[in-house]
Amino acid sequence: MDFLQELPQQIFRDILLRVPYKSQAKIKELLEPAKEMIECSQFYQDRIKFGLTKKYICLLDHVAISIYDPVDQLSIMRTSIPDDFQVILVPRDSQIFCFKHKLVLWGVSKWCNISVILIYDLLSNTWKEGAQIPIAILGNGCCASPEGSIYIAGGYSTSFPCRISRKAAVYKVDEDEWELHSDMHQEVRSCFY
């Protein structure tokens, strides 16, 4: 593998772009320069630009995520959500988003009755809990942007008496950080429907 690092950087990068997605984790372990290139945000954009990516369908049930290739009609993988995350996946209140090599799951905690973020890294085949949501609301609207942010708005407070929320926040996936936005002008029950 050392001979790859001796190649001119652009040729090395072009070879990396063509490495199948499932093999990228191993390449990152073996070659430090490859790790830096693969984790760069432009790397994934270039894979898309050169037609080196595939579109998959992610299916979410109450205990796992399944990934399906609709073109080849193959089930690619199924990964269970570890029990230690204590998450309930209610179809109406759970969503899944994909950013680069991460699946970001929005669910509800079993014990605290609050929304939680779980992140599954497709390259390392690992789960982690995302940063805690700074506002205690449920049933809020949730959408994603292509640059890697998840926006939440509205919903219901988790305190008694239950109130409709004016709160809004954005979660930045790469930074694993939440940013509160100013309150909305109007209360919003839910943006799901």
pLDDT, one tens digit per residue, over 157-180 is 666 666 667 777 888 988 999 888
Lowest mean pLDDT among 5-9, 151-155, 184-188: 184-188
Name 72's Cβ contacts closer than 8 Å, sequence gap at least 6: none
CB 76 within 8 Å of CB 70? no
pLDDT at 31 exceeding the cut of 70: yes
- Provide the Cα torsion 36, 37, 38, 42; round to 10°: 120
pTM over the 0.85 mark: no
Please tell me the predicted confidence (pLDDT) of residue 54.
Answer: 77
CA dihedral (47, 32, 67, 176) positive or negative:
negative
Contact 144, 136 (CB under 8 A): no
